[in-house]
Amino acid sequence: MEKEAKIFVAGHKGMVGSAIVRKLKKEGFNNLIVRSSSELDLRNQESVKGFFQEQKPDYVFLAAAKVGGIIANNSYRADFIYENLAIQNNVIHYAKEAGVKKLMFLGSSCIYPKLAPQPLKEEYLLTGPLEPTNEPYAIAKIAGIKMCDAYRDQYGCNFVSVMPTNLYGPNDNYDLQKSHVLPALLRKFHEAKEQGKDVVEVWGSGTPLREFLHVDDLADACVYLMQTYNEPGLVNIGVGEDISIKDLALLVKDIVGFEGELHFDATKPDGTPRKLMDVSKLHGLGWKARIGLRQGITEVYRQHFITETV
Ligand code: GFB
């Protein structure tokens, strides 16, 4: 990727897109194109067609998506499949029409079968049934991977797919009904501490295992792979270590300094029992995560809850 290349970061206001923009700027890429959803509705075919015809970007990071935690995925099932399919259909197709040199499609670890062997190797894609709570989102993301591969096969497009594990970092969503577990726990423990509460509710049994990657590490990996990786299929982006939701809750409790108890709410779903990425392909490509979980959570906690209130 040349420093003066015209790079479109789709979804630049989200946690992932904003981290990619920060990373690109830091690396000296200054010819970035960004559009808010009110300026360009990526679900609208005509708008996306017009945008690509006019702008003709050289590179595209497709980080725009409708995302959310386990309850949001399960409650807005139609929106998750429709909006994600619409966004990626439009962006991938018109990127090809505009002659984009390379496009990176970002998926998710939930594309793998619910009970796949662990750690999750890239070749486990489409080898078994999906986790029901996020099946519509996963199906859309699987379609995105297959679409990139089909455009590579038929039209010779250099479109690549990367699958990040569960992410956290600046610009996350802290809405307790829609967010992922980490921002939810930070908010719940912080508010419980502020309000002098004795108990914090943690959804599910606490036994599921999840892997967490700081979004700055993800952005670093994406920019690195955009410059070095040109293959069909997919590559996992993760840290290669996981933690139980109970231990994560205890870690967040400790970082926040909450002194009360945890209560596990069994009426809420656990989701997939485990989804640990196999990162040997990624390591073989020359990239490793750097930000440790305690360090990353501590930074995010300070940035979001401490800095903003002083
Ligand atoms: O992060 P999360 O919502 O999504 O939940 P998934 C992870 C685990 O944390 C589940 C538990 O077992 C939740 O029950 N959990 C405990 C909580 N307390 C809370 C809480 O207060 N809020 C939330 N949200 N969870 C999503 C998928 O799955 O992960 C998406 O639905 C996507 O499609 C994303 O793949 C990365 O890891 O289960």
CA atoms within 13 A on the CB side of 299: 13
Q: Which amino acid appears at position 181 of this protein? A: V
Task: Give the global pTM.
Answer: 0.97
Per-residue b or e along 153-168, where b marks 16 or more CB atoms closer than 10 Å to that residue's CB: eeeebbbbbbbbbbbb
pLDDT of residue 309: 53
Residue 94 a catalytic site member: no
* β strands within the chain, DSSP E: 7-10, 32-33, 59-62, 102-106, 159-164, 166-168, 199-203, 209-210, 212-214, 234-237, 243-244, 261-265
Query: Which residue is it, tokens 């609208």?
Result: 44
Looking at residues 25-34, what average pLDDT do you find?
97
Q: Which protein residue has the closest C-alpha to ligand 1 atom 5?
A: 181
Provide the pLDDT confidence category of residue 307 given band limits of 50, 70 and 90.
confident
CA of 226: how far to CAs of 11, 31, 93, 150, 198, in Å? 17, 16, 19, 19, 47
* Closest by Cα among 15, 7, 29 to 212: 15
* β-strand pairing of 209-210 with 243-244: antiparallel
Encode pLDDT of 76-134 as tens digits.
Answer: 999 999 999 999 999 999 999 999 999 999 999 999 999 999 999 999 999 999 999 99
- Cα-to-centroid distance, 66 and ligand 1 (Å): 15
Per-residue pLDDT tens over the stretch 144-169: 999 999 999 999 999 999 999 999 99
% of the chain residues with pLDDT over 90: 98
Ligand 1 pocket, residue 186 CB under 6 Å: no
* CA separation for the pair 111, 145 (Å, rounded): 10
Q: How many Cα atoms sit within 13 Å of 255 on the Cβ side?
A: 25
The rounded Å distance from CA 225 to ligand 1 centre is 27
Q: Which of 135, 141, 181 to mutate to test the pocket of ligand 1 (most atoms within 8 A of CB)?
A: 181
Cα separation, 51 vs 42, in Å, equals 10
CA of 272 to the centre of ligand 1 (A): 9
User: Is the predicted pLDDT of residue 310 greater than 90, yes or no?
Assistant: no
How many angstroms from the chain centroid is the CA of residue 61? 12
Q: Supply 295's token pair.
A: 């360090």
User: 270: buried, middle or exposed (CB in 10 Å: 19+, 13-18, 0-12)?
Assistant: middle
Percent of the chain with pLDDT over 70: 99
Which of 137, 168, 229, 301 is catalytic? The answer is 137
Residue bearing the CA closest to ligand 1, atom 22: 181
Residue 241's pLDDT is 97
All domains in the chain, ordered by first residue: 7-170+212-239+275-292 (3.40.50.720), 181-207+243-273+301-309 (3.90.25.10)
* Nearest protein Cα to ligand 1, atom 23: 181
Supply the pLDDT for residue 308. Answer: 60
| Rounded distance from Cα 69 to ligand 1 centre (Å) | 5
CB of 70 sitting under 6 A from ligand 1: yes
Q: The tokens of 189 are what?
A: 């423990």
Identify the CA nearest to 208 among candidates 98, 77, 70, 40: 70
Position 277 scores a pLDDT of 98
Instruction: Convert the pLDDT of each residue in 175-217 to its tens digit.
Output: 999 999 999 999 999 999 999 999 999 999 999 999 999 999 9
Say yes or no: CB of residue 179 within 6 Å of ligand 1.
yes
Question: What separation in Å is there between the alpha carbon of 269 and the centre of ligand 1?
Answer: 9
Q: Give CA–CA dist 62/81, Å, rounded.
A: 16
